[in-house]
Structure 1
Amino acid sequence: MKAHQKMLVGIAAGTAAGLLANQLAGDTEALKWVVANLTMPLGRIFIRLLLMLVVPLLFSALVMGVCELDLKQLGRLGVRTLGYTVVFSAIAVALGLVLVNVIRPGEGFNLEALQAAEKNPLSLKAAPPPTSGSPVGFLVAMVPDNPLRAAADGDMIGLIVFSLLFGAGLAVTQTPGARRLRETVQGLYDVMMRLIDGVLRLAPFGVAALLFSVTADLGVGILKNIAAYVFVVVLGLGLHLFGVYSLAVRFLGKRNPLTFFRDVRLAMVTAFSTASSNATLPTALKVAEENLKLPNHVSRFVLTAGSAMNQNGTALFEGITVLFIAQVYGVPLSLSDQMVIMFICVLAGIGTAGVPAGSLPVIMMILGMFKIPVEGIGLILGVDRFLDMCRTTLNVTGDLAAAVYVARGESASEPPPGAPAQQPG
């Protein structure tokens, strides 16, 4: 069986067994014992294995994402690409937060879910929430005085800021030692991705255990919430893909949106089927150069950087998922809390791995920051593969839309940023 087929079997088995246990055993001590001592610990081990990799993965991914931009020679291409990424990621997250606040897919089982989480003796330790106070105080608190302590304390905003600064410093330091350090960080990233791939092989069992625990406690009603959650995510992705990107292509790229979507359909289909921005990169480059007729140096730079940092769909998905799980467990999030979540999602989008399920560690990190039960991630794991395919399609299309915008006014004969200068003689 393929990985996604095994996941589907785990989803079906865990959900069906949990619903059956809820109907037959109800609120009995035997079912409570099974959940508390068997299925929930198994699911928690799966989650903790993923959480264990968050800090090194986030650090290495952010550092390499910034390093590969070659900051010394970016020029106007880098400025325009980075500006586009930040603005459209913010629009995506804001759109998602509006939808999840208006539709509120997580409401309906708040009290039951919260009581189940409070009674469970195996709750994971949550990271500290962001420091409340004035905007100036928050900006000051973003800069960690000790990055190692920030990572140990779960201060992920501080870790993200340090990682971005470290990556910028590494990008502009051209010494033999710095180049070796860059290779070391790349090696760390490669190892983390291999470990995550290994942990995800356990996903069918972990997901089955988590879904059994949730459905055995909450019954069939929670499936209505999950269906509403999927609807909100797909609606948000669709509005951003066909609404926001159409406007961007028309007014920033000066192209017909219908022609643009027709030209990039091969890349969109590849992204949907692989659920990986990295795996779709060769196809996206081919589409950009052959169908969109973009200058080679623009398409290669923007699409390569975009596959690592222009993750609009992932940022939107992360924001919706955090608020959905908060609604399920009845954890209130103020407007300022949601602004912080939006900020984190935009920043984390730079370093989210362009591979299937690459956003799950970031979501769990944010859940911990706001004291939302991290085991709530089990609610969405069953539908994550489909949503991953959808958000990857948005990510890849966004990269191509960015390339169309950046290519305006560029000459096809210009050398790419960072190309080595000709040596005399």
Structure 2
Amino acid sequence: MSESMVSGKKSMPLHWKMAIGFGVGTVAGVIANLYFADAGWLETVTTYVTDPIGQLFLRLLFMLVIPLIFSALVLGVVEIGNPQSLGRIGVKTLLWIMLVTTLAVTIGLITVNLFQPGVGLPEDVRAALIAQGVERGSEIAQKGREAPSGIQLLLNIVPRNPVAAAASGDLIAVMFFALMIGIAATVIRSKATRSFVDVCQGMYEICLTLIGWVIRLAPYAVAALLFTITARLGFEVLVQLARFVGTVVTALGIHFFIVLPLLLWFLGRMSPLQFFKRAEPAILTAFSTSSSSASLTTTLKITEESLGVPRSVSRFVCTLGATANMNGTALFEGVTVLFLAQFYGVDLSIVQQITILGLCVMGGIGAAGVPGGSLPVIAMILAMFGIPPEGIGLILGVDRFLDMCRTTVNVTGDMVGAVVIARGERGVLPTQAPAGAD
């Protein structure tokens, strides 16, 4: 996924371009807010130049989310349910993914509710922010009044018309439909079904390519979105952003240093200290590349040679985990959605937060294992709950560092899962490290 080879010469890495876009947009926006807040030209620039640029980027993300989620979930279920792909281990892998991802998102939601990083904007600034568009404000209020609850929320999971659900952005219904299609595809082992799965594979690869192209526009979108927000809000927005980064890192740290070692100790019966010592090369690779897919070869090598997991287990669990076991990504998605809800003053009920938890669990499974792969899912969830998606511009400015952190959690979760599942396979995991592992 490197963008450095286009015409045979090296170009600046994307994350540096995004950092520059973040800096330029933020500094220019703060200066504009300090010295030209009441100038007519500033409102013209934000309304007709920077805001449309940011909106175009968001629309490109929205365009990809439905085909990406549908194809990824269908492929994930087909691979898990394939009897030739270690059926019993596949079920255990699915249970592991659901367990660690649910724990991760729960930690994220608890952390963001405790720290409330999006709370603290002055009321006049918040009022001006919400009042930027009366139409958007009424839309948010209307969605809050019409939010389903109880049995209706459960019924809405099953779409009456999957095409209409996709058109209206009903992500839960689309995910349910994709899961049903995937389950049926694992049962019907025909040539036609295989062709359909190949089409889904092609769609998934196309979406990954398109995401790569769209992400290349991110530096300009970051600059435009950050200029728009900081020009209207001033320096206060940077304080909120710093609190957001601290909250995400804290939640990821709890999952990485507490939850995963406990699961490793009790279920995998391996010393966490020994695990981290042996898994260090794969963890560092994940941190530096920000991509579970790019780290896969190193992850497989370390899991088999250093952690002693049999190849039959490691190749299934780690390969599937590189696209489906995104517990760090799911945690990040949950924190981001609640942070922006707090930032824009959108109250979310307990039922809505539980719904977000479920969406993030499934979104973590469907997110692409490449840098920026979670952005379309976040954008769609924001829209579903009436949270202005323009706020994603704040996140893009610091996303590179947070992507490195959550990818580290993702890959570590894959290796811990391989150890746990191998131990459950009649204790096939050796108690001692392989020769030369240390």
TM-score if structure 2 supplies the norm length?
0.90
What is the CA–CA distance in structure 2 between the aligned matches of 1:119 and 1:297, rounded to whole Å?
56
Asked whether the 8 Å contact 1:128–1:154 carries over to 2, the reply is no
Shift of 1:80: 1.6
Query: Is the counterpart of residue 108 in structure 1 residue 120 in structure 2?
Result: yes
Q: Which amino acid aligns with 2:355?
A: V
Distance 1:123 1:208, change over 3 A: farther
What is the CA–CA distance in structure 2 between the aligned matches of 1:408 and 1:240, rounded to whole Å?
21
Report the count of equivalent residues.
413
Query: Is the counterpart of residue 248 in structure 1 residue 263 in structure 2?
Result: yes
Which of 101, 111, 119 matches 2:132? 119
1:421 alignment counterpart = none
Query: Is the counterpart of residue 336 in structure 1 residue 351 in structure 2?
Result: yes
Q: Could you list the per-position Cα deviations for residues 142-169 of structure 1 after superposition, in whole angstroms to 9, with x for gaps in the alignment?
A: 0111100101111110001001111122
1:94 alignment counterpart = 106
Q: Which amino acid aligns with 2:196?
A: L
Shift of 1:37: 1.1
1:420 alignment counterpart = none
Shift of 1:412: 9.6
Q: Alignment partner of 1:142: what SS? A: coil
Distance 1:121 1:35, change over 3 A: farther
Shift of 1:140: 1.9
Distance 1:259 1:388, change over 3 A: same
Shift of 1:411: 6.3
Q: Which amino acid aligns with 1:55?
A: I
Q: Which amino acid aligns with 1:25?
A: F
Asked whether the 8 Å contact 2:81–2:87 carries over to 1, the reply is no
What is the CA–CA distance in structure 1 between the aligned matches of 2:122 and 2:173, rounded to whole Å?
31
Shift of 1:88: 1.4
Q: Could you list the per-position Cα deviations for residues 198-233 of structure 1 after superposition, in whole angstroms to 9, with x for gaps in the alignment?
A: 111111111100000011111111111100100000
Which of 148, 157, 162 matches 1:132? 148
Shift of 1:121: 8.0
Which of 35, 41, 44 matches 2:46? 35
Q: Which amino acid aligns with 1:115?
A: A
Asked whether the 8 Å contact 2:105–2:330 carries over to 1, the reply is yes
What is the CA–CA distance in structure 2 between the aligned matches of 1:412 and 1:234, rounded to whole Å?
34
Distance 1:13 1:291, change over 3 A: same
Trace 1:130-209 onto structure 2 (pairs within 5 A): 132-134=148-150, 136-209=151-224
What is the CA–CA distance in structure 1 between the aligned matches of 2:369 and 2:187, rounded to whole Å?
24
What is the CA–CA distance in structure 2 between the aligned matches of 1:106 and 1:114, rounded to whole Å?
14
TM-score if structure 1 supplies the norm length?
0.93
User: RMSD between aligned alpha carbons?
Assistant: 2.1
Q: Alignment partner of 1:119: what SS? A: coil
2:93 alignment counterpart = 81
Distance 1:151 1:110, change over 3 A: farther
Shift of 1:85: 1.2
What is the CA–CA distance in structure 1 between the aligned matches of 2:428 and 2:126, rounded to whole Å?
60
Q: Could you list the per-position Cα deviations for residues 334-364 of structure 1 after superposition, in whole angstroms to 9, with x for gaps in the alignment?
A: 1111000001111111111101011111111
Trace 1:25-424 onto structure 2 (pairs within 5 A): 25-73=36-84, 74-109=86-121, 111=123, 112-113=125-126, 115-120=128-133, 132-134=148-150, 136-410=151-425
Bigger mean CA offset, 277-286 vs 59-68: 59-68
Asked whether the 8 Å contact 1:109–1:218 carries over to 2, the reply is no
Shift of 1:109: 2.1
Shift of 1:413: 9.0
2:3 alignment counterpart = none
Shift of 1:2: 1.3
1:7 alignment counterpart = 18
Structure 1 spans left out of the alignment, 5+ residues: 415-425
Q: Which amino acid aligns with 2:334?
A: G
Q: Alignment partner of 1:350: what SS? A: helix
Structure 2 spans left out of the alignment, 5+ residues: 1-11, 430-438
What is the CA–CA distance in structure 2 between the aligned matches of 1:110 and 1:148, rounded to whole Å?
42
Q: Could you list the per-position Cα deviations for residues 68-123 of structure 1 after superposition, in whole angstroms to 9, with x for gaps in the alignment?
A: 22433543312221111111111111111111111111112274245335424896
Shift of 1:391: 0.2
Q: Which amino acid aligns with 1:119?
A: Q
Q: Which amino acid aligns with 1:28?
A: A
Q: Which amino acid aligns with 1:103?
A: F
Q: Could you list the per-position Cα deviations for residues 163-214 of structure 1 after superposition, in whole angstroms to 9, with x for gaps in the alignment?
A: 1111122223211111111111111111111111111111111110000001
Bigger mean CA offset, 1-10 vs 24-33: 24-33
Asked whether the 8 Å contact 2:422–2:428 carries over to 1, the reply is no
Asked whether the 8 Å contact 2:29–2:234 carries over to 1, the reply is yes
Asked whether the 8 Å contact 2:80–2:94 carries over to 1, the reply is no
Asked whether the 8 Å contact 2:313–2:422 carries over to 1, the reply is yes
Asked whether the 8 Å contact 1:60–1:188 carries over to 2, the reply is yes
What is the CA–CA distance in structure 2 between the aligned matches of 1:380 and 1:391, rounded to whole Å?
14
Shift of 1:137: 3.0
Q: Could you list the per-position Cα deviations for residues 393-425 of structure 1 after superposition, in whole angstroms to 9, with x for gaps in the alignment?
A: 0000000001110001436999xxxxxxxxxxx
Shift of 1:264: 0.6
Distance 1:238 1:293, change over 3 A: same
What is the CA–CA distance in structure 2 between the aligned matches of 1:4 and 1:216, rounded to whole Å?
23
What is the CA–CA distance in structure 2 between the aligned matches of 1:39 and 1:137, rounded to whole Å?
40
